[in-house]
Structure 1
Amino acid sequence: MEKSIKKYWPLFLLPTLAAFAIGFIFPFLWGIFLSFHKFTTISKTTFVGLDNYIKVFQDSTFTSAFWFTAKFTIVSTILINIIAFAIALALTRGLKGTNIFRTVFFLPNLIGGIVLGYIWQILLNGLLSAWGKSLLALNATYGFWGLIVLMCWQQIGYMMIIYIAGLQNVPTDLIEAARIDGATSSQILFKIKVPMVMPSVTICTFLTLTNSFKLFDQNLSLTAGEPAKQSMMLAYNIYDTFYARSGPQWKGIGQAKAVVFFLFVVVISLLQLHFTRSKEVQA
């Protein structure tokens, strides 16, 4: 029986591979194909070469969205990881009610992104209002920090759980030996704990970096790109180009933006993984 299962194990992979090919690989390759065409429907296309890609970088809304997204990603990644690690550090020191705190911090991650966006829109509309209109729609800076607050509130609890798992795996005898040798708390933190939890740092940085860079639903529900598309992020800019602009040329440009966006995310993620993995302690 065991030998027959080993012999036919590829058959067990076929359903998953078929679903992956149909749901991801084929649409991805077809999307790359369409990025070189002008079209209104996928059955009626006109080849335009690199024209769509040239127009991508000539579109001021795309470059504006890129820099807005880049600033947002840097700030949110730093804040989320620092705060999540600090909370994880506090909750691994045997405090009373630790499990309750972990649950409370993790709960926002269970709420859908677009729902969170509307919740925070209501909250911030009540706190920040001028002339009867939300400041989120009047000033891109308020929209930027509104998105930062929303992202931190949603992601910190999830990253905290990962950091707690990493801190709990730090050998206690190593910390005790350092204390016997006279190491201070800050020395134990930066010389032992931080290097030992670098695998957790790699995971959390990767997740926050990619989640921040490809943020869409929260951007749509919280600011909708206002004012004048100044708070529009890349994913929302692609959606706006593809669906909100009329004319066959915009479909191809929107598809080209999606390909460029994919390359941005892949390159940035690989660079981050290379950097943080190089800092990990080798067992």
Structure 2
Amino acid sequence: MTDVQKTKKRRLIANYVLFLGPTLFLFFTLEVLPLIMGIGYSFTDWNGIAEKAHFVGISNYIKLFTSDPRYWKSLLFTFKNTLVVVVFSNLIGFWLAYGLAKKVPFRNFMRAAFYLPRLIGGVILGFVWQFIFLNIFPYLGEKLGWGIFNLPWLGTPSTAFWGMAIVQIWGMAGYMMIIYVAGLTTIPSDYLEAAIIDGANAYQQLTRIVLPLLMPSITECLFLSLLNSFKVYDVNLALTGGGPYRSSEAITMNVYTTAFSENQLGYGSAKAIIMALIVIGITLLQVAITSRKEVQS
């Protein structure tokens, strides 16, 4: 290897270190290291305060699977909530994108308006909608006489479930819309023009051309909405606090309460590891299934 080649190699390595080094350091510090520590803590009885932690083997996992119905109730709630949020946020996001992909007046303004809820923090979003459910809806119900506004939106298990789902869908649909808009812009207009010439109606254009070519965006949107729904905590905390009677307690809130409110960090870590494995398994399965349906434009 000549001196020139060695110099180029050193410069290339220096560029890698300069640009990738900080990112890899932050990723390892904020993601990998806490994961390794969490796995280690899950085999201990550490309460998060004591100076020493005692190794207890897999007793935390045994306890989780045999004598903690609250955890599985929270997991079931999270599954149902995720299903509703993923389906409706993607349907609404897609139809918004499909409508605003056409040349309509104030198209960019409406895109920005629908995306705006995404810019509001989860805690603020929860408190805003809590005010709406507890104050604005009763006022509208009194003035308009519509029974839907007089429901105890955060007062019963069933209404709290739908209240939380509405807030998440409202906050996520605009985000999905932006991704779908980006995907729609990559579809060649020649395909749609040829379909129109061949006599294809709007439904046939949608199902035979648009949706198959949009599958990469659908894969991404399903992945992101699944991940965000499973990880929801801030909206859950601000909107319902897990109530009433812990009926709307998501899995993340259950893990946090166990680890930090009940001072069982070792047991909470075991819960977090199981939750992470479930989320990883579901998202990988989703990506594998939807990726197979992708076609090249």
Q: Which TM-score bucket, shorter chain as reference?
A: over 0.9
Q: Percent identity?
A: 40
The whole-number CA distance in structure 1 between the counterparts of 2:92 and 2:10 is 52
TM-score between the two structures when normalised by the length of structure 1: 0.92
2:157 alignment counterpart? 140
The secondary structure found in structure 1 opposite 2:46 is: strand
Q: Residues 235-277 of structure 1: CA distance to partner in whole angstroms, max 9, x if unpaired?
A: 001011112225xxx3221110011111111111101100111
How far apart are 1:137 and its partner, in Å?
A: 4.6
Match of 1:87 in 2: 96
Query: Any idea what the Cα deviations from partners look like across 1:112-154, whole Å, max 9, x if unmatched?
Result: 001000000111012259xxxx934531111111111111111
TM-score normalised by length of structure 2 = 0.88
Structure 2 unaligned segments of length 5 or more: list them.
1-6, 140-150
Q: Which amino acid in 2 is paired with 1:8?
A: A
Residue 48 (1) aligns with residue 51 (2): no
- Which residue of 2 is the match for residue 72 of structure 1? 81
Whether the aligned pair in 1 keeps the contact of 2:154 and 2:163 (CA below 8 Å) is no
Aligned-pair Cα RMSD in Å = 1.7
- How far residue 45 of structure 1 moved from its aligned partner, in angstroms, is 0.8
What does 1:193-208 correspond to in 2, within 5 Å? 193-208=210-225
Which ranges of 4 or more aligned residues in structure 1 deviate by more than 6 Å? none
1:25 deviates by 1.5
Match of 2:44 among 30, 37, 41: 37
CA deviations 1:97-122 (Å, max 9, x no partner) are 10111011011100000100000011
Match of 2:69 in 1: 60
C-alpha deviation, 1:22, in angstroms: 2.3
Structure 1 residue 158 corresponds to structure 2 residue 175:
yes
Aligned partner (choices 2, 27, 31) of residue 24 of structure 1:
31
SS of the counterpart of 1:125? helix
2:244 matches 1:230: no
* Aligned-partner SS, 1:259: helix
Instruction: Please state how far the C-alpha of 1:27 moved relative to its aligned partner.
Output: 1.6
Residues 89-98 or 10-19, more deviating: 10-19
Q: Report SS of the residue matched to 2:244.
A: coil
* Partners of 2:183 and 2:217 within 8 A in 1: yes
Corresponding position of 2:278: 264
The one-letter code of the counterpart of 2:58 is L
Instruction: Name the counterpart of 2:148.
Output: none
Count of aligned residue pairs for this structure pair: 276
Uncovered stretches (5+) of structure 1, i.e. residues with no partner: none
Q: Hey, what does 1:115 align to over in structure 2?
A: 124
Measured in 2, the distance between the counterparts of 1:276 and 1:43 equals: 48
CA distance in 2, matches of 1:85, 1:10: 38
| CA drift at 1:24 | 2.1
Matching residue's letter, 1:22: T
Higher strand residue share: 1
